Structure formats: structure tokens, C-alpha cells
């Protein structure tokens, strides 16, 4: 039997094994977080990469800012919409224990390993160590006074144009996504969900919420038209190939086409597209996902973002 199939046969057990039934009364008072501290890579980077390395070029940022704003996106990220709820934030030392700590990690741990020619079977054994390291970060923050944690799981990798282009022979599902890479993301998410459940037992005074971003974004691929999107597998800002993705082109960069240099620009209407550059999402997709995950419907335990300061 294929070892990949053997490992993935246990996914459904892992994914739903730690689900707990919560039927508690919610407090009426919304949280007023005095600060938000975000831990994440480029999906939630609001300018760190640009400040430390290279400035991004237009059309990054064009939808909202009218210019590049340090985001790998045409506009806002999920963390930007989160800050929109808590507009008058202050970052003072005495606010640390009352702040909201958001986490958007895991994607790079998986995709970078894939692009360094590791197989899925080689990556799977490393996932528990990755998740354990992440758990230790939460423990350390808790010891420093943090109490409210909002943790996004990783996205459906099998729909990324970069994955579809890099691994064209991968088994496809009914939406023509690369099925093994979605299963890899699901496996990571199952490990993360179980780890957070253990942390809730260890730290009953904290609010530690597992947020199913995977499922929120998955609906954009399964029902794009219903949700106001089109061509969900074709990215917006690149040039060439089946999915409008090319390793030779980057959003805002230059590429030679028939001996002529052209600038890689945006699609006509980013508001109806899901993928921005092959691994990051458009502002419209980020807004759609945020609107879903800020409710209780995609959270475990089922706590909406506005009540994420109340322990469960």
C-alpha cells in the first residue's frame, strides 16, 4: 500500500477527534482589546518584509492604498480587518495581559519544505515537532501574561496556483485541486487543533481559540459564483500558464514576452478573484474569510472574535 494513503486514512479521525461540544451561555459584554499582537508570515505581514528586505511594487496595494503598502496583496489582509474592529489601539506595557494575540503560521513550514524537494511522506513526521514548537511559544507568552489567543489554521494548499503548477501530476479532486497537498494541510491542522485543546486544559484561565480558516477559504473554491467570485484557481497578478502563474514572473516585476519586456500587472477586477499572486489572497478573499471566521461558526470552542477575551 502507498504509505501516503496509509497515513492519510487516519486524517478523518484526527480532524474530528478533539471536537468538544460547547453549549454555554455567552457573556453580553464585548471585549475591548487595548492592543493586538500578531505572529505570522507573509499572509499577515503588514510591512515587515518590505522594511527589512525589498520594497514591493505596484500593483501590490493598488485596490485600497493606491500604492504598495508592504503587503503581498492588492489591499488588506485578515489582520487588517481585525484591527478595523479595534481601531483605537494602544501598545503600552500594562496592556500586554489584556491584548489579543493572533497567530497565522504553518503555511511556510509546509510549502517551503515542498519547494526544497521534500516529499509529503518526508514532511509528515516533522509536523508534530512544528506544532510542539508553536505550543511552546503560546506557553511562553502565557507566562509573560498573555491570556487571549486567536489561532488560524493553515490554508487549503492544494488550490494554490503555485502548488498546482509545481506539482502537475498530483492526484486531483472534483475541483481539479491537488488533493495530496490539501490532505497535508488537513493533517497539520488536525495536529494543531489537538495541541490547542491540550493547552486549554493546561491553562484554563486563558482563551485559546482554534480558527478554521481552511474551511472558510475552501468555500471560495467549492462555491465561487455563489460567493461572488470567479476563476478561483487562476491568480490575479502574474503572467502565463494554465493558472496565470509562472516561476519567471512576479507580481509587479518584469518579464520578457516575445522579446519585449512587460510589467506584470493585476487582473481587471481583483474583487472577484481569490488568489492574488499564487500563494497569497486578494483583499476580497481576505475580507470574505474574515467575515466568516470572526463569527463563532468556524471557531473551536465556538467563540466569536468580539468575545475572545472570555475564557472557555
As given in the structure block, the three cell numbers for residue 201 are 486544559
Identify the CA nearest to 286 among candidates 278, 277, 274.
274
Enumerate residues 6+ apart whose C-beta is below 8 A from 74: 59, 60, 61, 62, 63, 64, 236, 237, 266, 270, 276, 282, 283
Pick the catalytic residue: 62, 275, 280, 299? 280
| Options 18, 30, 42, 135, the catalytic residue | 42
Q: Is the dihedral of CA 158, 107, 228, 234 positive or negative?
A: negative
C-beta of residue 160 within 8 angstroms of C-beta of residue 110: no
Q: Running DSSP on this structure, what letter comes out for residue 67?
A: S
Q: Kindly name the residue from 62, 74, 238, 277 that is annotated as catalytic.
A: 277
Q: Taking a C-beta distance cutoff of 8 angstroms, is the pair 165, 245 a contact?
A: yes
Concatenating the DSSP letter of every residue in 184-247 gives HHHHHHHHHHHHHHHHHHH-TTSEEEEE-HHHHHHHHHHSTTTTT---TTS-SS--SSTTS--T
280 included as an active-site residue: yes
Active site residue 42: yes
* Residues belonging to the active site: 42, 277, 280
Amino acid at each position: 500500500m502507498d504509505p501516503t494513503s496509509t497515513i492519510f486514512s487516519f486524517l478523518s479521525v484526527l480532524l474530528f477527534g478533539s471536537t468538544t461540544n460547547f453549549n454555554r451561555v455567552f457573556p453580553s459584554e464585548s471585549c475591548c482589546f487595548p492592543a493586538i499582537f500578531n505572529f505570522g508570515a507573509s499572509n499577515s505581514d503588514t510591512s515587515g518584509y518590505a522594511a527589512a528586505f525589498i520594497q514591493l511594487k505596484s500593483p501590490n496595494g493598488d485596490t485600497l492604498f493606491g500604492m504598495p503598502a508592504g503587503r503581498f496583496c492588492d489591499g488588506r489582509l485578515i489582520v487588517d480587518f481585525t484591527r478595523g474592529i479595534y481601531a483605537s489601539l494602544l501598545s503600552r506595557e500594562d496592556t500586554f495581559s489584556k491584548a489579543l494575540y493572533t497567530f497565522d503560521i504553518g503555511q511556510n513550514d509546509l510549502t517551503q519544505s515542498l519547494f526544497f524537494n521534500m516529499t509529503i511522506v518526508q514532511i509528515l513526521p516533522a509536523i508534530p515537532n512544528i506544532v510542539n514548537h508553536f505550543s511552546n511559544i503560546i506557553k511562553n507568552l502565557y507566562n509573560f501574561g498573555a491570556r487571549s489567543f486567536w489561532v488560524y489554521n493553515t490554508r487549503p494548499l492544494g488550490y494554490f496556483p503555485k502548488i498546482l503548477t509545481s506539482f502537475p501530476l498530483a492526484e486531483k479532486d472534483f475541483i481539479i485541486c491537488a488533493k495530496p497537498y490539501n490532505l497535508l494541510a488537513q493533517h497539520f491542522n488536525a495536529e494543531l487543533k489537538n495541541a490547542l485543546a491540550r493547552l486549554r486544559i493546561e491553562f484554563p484561565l486563558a482563551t485559546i481559540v482554534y480558527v478554521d480558516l481552511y474551511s472558510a477559504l475552501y468555500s471560495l473554491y467549492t462555491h465561487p459564483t455563489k460567493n461572488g467570485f470567479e476563476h478561483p484557481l487562476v491568480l490575479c497578478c502574474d503572467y502565463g500558464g494554465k493558472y496565470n502563474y509562472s516561476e519567471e514572473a512576479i507580481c509587479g516585476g518584469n518579464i520578457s514576452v516575445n522579446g519585449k519586456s512587460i510589467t506584470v500587472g493585476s487582473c481587471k477586477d481583483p474583487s472577484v478573484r481569490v488568489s492574488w499572486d499564487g500563494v497569497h489572497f486578494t483583499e476580497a478573499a481576505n475580507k470574505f474569510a474574515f467575515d466568516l471566521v470572526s463569527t463563532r461558526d468556524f471557531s473551536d470552542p465556538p467563540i466569536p472574535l468580539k468575545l475572545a477575551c472570555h475564557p472557555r
